[in-house]
């Protein structure tokens, strides 16, 4: 899966680092990120490349004393430290001016096109839909940009205090937004989501979404709600989406999924009773029982928990 980057290791503790020339800077706009396509993959700008571009353009207020502010085509950005993978550091290029970003914020439902309506300030780079970054190699870079997108969304949505409306400021010691007017403290939001493989012998329920850009087979999935356990979420989502009862829930694995700001919990479970599927059509376009021997189009991608669970079932039950 995308987070399986060993022998490399993610260090996600917040620290007050200043960017180095070689550090990667992610600049997001809506559901796009500034990137350069090289063959079948993407690369991202470094702090040194951005700094060189700005200085080459002859701008006056290029950098302040702590080398954390950039004046890019009239827009100021500050570099916020995100995390490191081994000794490679990653930063978020965040606009200094507190005004809403433009563009769509679709995350998991975003496309993988180059978005020319988002004007690039860096030669050779363009804004590409974040969904395309599933294909980035090496894999730790795909994990880095998707995780960075999760944090971008949190910073973007917490510029102002939800309690009193005043501007929020980043805490200097931990990853937290603080309102110095009313004392409100906001930490990164992580949404629990279940991925459910409903099985009956050598059969499994396969679904397809009714909307969005993802057209491949998927499993039943849904967000946890207030006041319920994650196991109760499994039962509720299965009943809502395909009208089935399940039993013998078996936890499989979890996965951080930054495109939807989520932590996924994978479960295998067994059909309990009637196998008639009653499809929630506003959510799903397809919901059907499929034998393991029929799962020919499910190919490994080394990215998603959903795909890994499908393949595990297929390998264990295919005759």
Is the domain of 137 the same as that of 204? no
Mean pLDDT per block of 10 residues along the chain (319 residues) reads: 93 92 92 87 90 61 40 66 96 78 66 76 86 84 94 92 93 92 96 97 93 80 96 97 97 94 97 96 91 84 90 89
Is the domain of 151 the same as that of 259? no
Among candidate residues 154, 165, 156, 222, the one with its CA nearest the CA of residue 190: 154
Residue 33 lies in a domain: yes
Q: Tell me, what's the pLDDT at 249?
A: 98
Is the domain of 223 the same as that of 295? yes
Q: How many residues does the chain have?
A: 319
Q: What is the pTM of this model?
A: 0.88
Can you give the residue range of the structural domain that contains 16? 10-157
Q: Tell me, what's the pLDDT at 4?
A: 92
Beta bridge partners of 291: 203
Is-contact 241 207, C-beta < 8 A? yes
Residue 3 lies in a domain: no
Residue 296 lies in a domain: yes
Q: How many domains does the chain have?
A: 2
Boundary (domain end) residue, out of 104, 133, 157? 157
Residue 162 lies in a domain: no
Boundary (domain end) residue, out of 115, 134, 157? 157
Is the domain of 151 the same as that of 14? yes
d(CA 266, CA 305): 7
Is-contact 136 148, C-beta < 8 A? no
Residue 247 lies in a domain: yes
Is the domain of 228 the same as that of 151? no
Is the domain of 240 the same as that of 118? no
Q: Tell me, what's the pLDDT at 71?
A: 44
Is the domain of 149 the same as that of 28? yes
Is the domain of 140 the same as that of 198? no
Residue 307 lies in a domain: yes
8-29: burial string, b at 16+ Cβ within 10 Å, e else: eeeeeebeeeebeeebbbbbbb
Which CATH number fits the domain that encloses residue 272? 3.90.79.10
């Amino acid at each position: 899966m995308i987070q399986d980057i060993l022998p490399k290791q993610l260090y996600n503790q917040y620290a007050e680092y200043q960017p180095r020339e070689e550090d990667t800077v992610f600049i997001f706009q809506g559901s796009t990120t500034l990137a350069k396509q090289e063959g079948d993959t993407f690369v991202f700008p470094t702090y040194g490349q951005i700094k060189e571009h700005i200085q080459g353009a002859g701008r006056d207020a290029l950098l302040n004393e702590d080398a954390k502010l950039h004046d890019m085509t009239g827009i100021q950005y500050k570099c916020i430290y995100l995390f490191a993978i081994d000794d490679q550091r990653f930063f978020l290029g965040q606009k200094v001016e507190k005004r809403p970003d433009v563009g769509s914020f679709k995350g998991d439902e975003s496309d993988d096109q180059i978005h020319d309506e988002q004007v690039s300030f860096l030669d050779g780079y363009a804004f590409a839909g974040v969904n395309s970054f599933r294909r980035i190699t090496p894999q730790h870079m795909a994990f880095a940009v998707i995780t960075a997108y999760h944090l971008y969304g949190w910073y973007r949505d917490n510029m102002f205090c939800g309690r009193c409306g005043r501007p929020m400021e980043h805490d200097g010691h931990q990853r937290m937004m603080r309102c110095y007017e009313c004392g409100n403290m906001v930490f990164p939001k992580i949404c629990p989501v279940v991925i459910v493989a409903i099985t009956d012998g050598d059969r499994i329920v396969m679904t397809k979404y009714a909307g969005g850009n993802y057209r491949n087979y998927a499993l039943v999935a849904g967000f946890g709600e207030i006041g319920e356990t994650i196991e109760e979420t499994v039962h509720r989502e299965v009943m809502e989406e395909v009208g089935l009862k399940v039993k013998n829930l078996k936890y499989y694995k979890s996965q951080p999924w930054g495109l939807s700001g989520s932590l996924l919990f994978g479960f295998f479970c067994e059909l309990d009773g009637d196998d008639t599927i009653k499809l929630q059509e506003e959510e799903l376009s397809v919901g059907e029982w499929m034998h393991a021997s029929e799962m020919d189009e499910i190919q490994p991608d080394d990215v998603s928990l959903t795909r890994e669970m499908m393949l595990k079932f297929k390998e264990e039950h295919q005759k």
